[in-house]
Amino acid sequence: MRKKIVAGNWKMFKTPSEAKMWFRDLVGKKPDTQAEAALMVSYPTLPYASEVLEGNDVYWGAQDVSAHLEGAYTGEVSVKMLADLACKYTVVGHSERRSYHAESDALVAQKANRLLEYSIIPILCVGESLEVREAGNHVAYTLKQLKGSLEGITPQSADHLVVAYEPVWAIGTGKTATPEDAQAMHKEIRTWLAGRFDLGFANEVRILYGGSVKPDNATALFDQPDIDGGLVGGASLKLDDYIALLNAAK
């Protein structure tokens, strides 16, 4: 049985103080959920996450990491720093990083490898644009992106890897993939992972869906056999919506 994850991607929203209050409210409400709660927050918010969420069954992580271990890389944040703040997860290859910062599959793979070296679980994002989807090339495109982004990762190093399928046309747009379309892609990803690693590995990998997940569409998505929860932007910022998403992930 794969435990579902509802991972919030807070992007560049909420100041650290706002986030700290939100964490306290979440912990105070003690959501009774079968899913794992995880919040991917801004770097300056991470110390508050570890302070307030530790021991409360809510996990945290960053939205990116440097591919370098340390050195003269102004503005970057290393995996050692994230490990020091007890990050369990960290997002790599989000489409906003891929498009606004021209991140290649090779760079995403370096970042994922770095995280795994430090026992932080990468939430590795892949997904096609609208143009690719309309041309009917979404499966080939997404699997190629996945292949490139997993370069150098072995079954031994990839323990607990999480993949997020996020069709770019559905992120922050209010358009969601239908549960059937999302399920079809997740199945393709799992089948491909079985070939790249092995069947046991593929059966354990959690594959999250992301793209305008909201409380009113989450149940139908999360009920699909190969959808193991969500990576959620907008709806994860509101406490009641986030709790509703946790409840939808049975």
Q: Does 171 bind ligand PEP (CB under 6 A)?
A: yes
CB of 123 to ligand PEP, least distance (A): 9
Nearer to ligand PEP, 152 or 172 (CB): 172
Residues recognised as catalytic: 94, 166
CB of 6 to ligand PEP, least distance (A): 11
Query: What is the distance between the alpha carbons of residues 146 and 143, in angstroms, rounded to a whole number?
Result: 5
Among 183, 234, 241, 244, binds ligand PEP (CB under 6 A): 234
CB of 40 to ligand PEP, least distance (A): 9
Q: Does 172 bind ligand PEP (CB under 6 A)?
A: yes
Nearer to ligand PEP, 11 or 190 (CB): 11
The stretch among 18-26, 31-39, 41-49, 207-215 that binds ligand PEP (CB under 6 A) is 207-215
- Phi and psi (nearest 5°) for 88? -90, -40
Name 213's Cβ contacts closer than 8 Å, sequence gap at least 6. 176, 221, 230, 232, 235, 245
Asked if 142 and 165 touch (Cβ cutoff 8 Å), the reply is yes
Query: What is the distance between the alpha carbons of residues 103 and 114, in angstroms, rounded to a whole number?
Result: 16
Q: Does 210 bind ligand PEP (CB under 6 A)?
A: yes
Q: Which three-class secondary structure state does DSSP give residue 109?
A: helix
Q: Is 57 exposed, middle or buried (0-12, 13-18, 19+ CB in 10 A)?
A: exposed
Q: Which three-class secondary structure state does DSSP give residue 23?
A: helix
Q: Does 212 bind ligand PEP (CB under 6 A)?
A: yes
- Is the Cα torsion angle 68, 154, 109, 35 positive or negative in sign? negative
Which residue, among 173, 242, 249, has the nearest Cα to 212 in the 3D structure?
A: 173
CB of 77 to ligand PEP, least distance (A): 19
Nearer to ligand PEP, 31 or 234 (CB): 234
Among 93, 122, 211, 229, binds ligand PEP (CB under 6 A): 211
For the chain, report the end-to-end CA distance as a whole number of angstroms. 11
The binding track of 150-169 with respect to ligand PEP, each residue x by CB under 6 A or -, is ----------------x---
CB of 93 to ligand PEP, least distance (A): 11
Q: Which residues bind ligand PEP (CB under 6 A)?
A: 9, 11, 166, 171-172, 210-213, 231-235
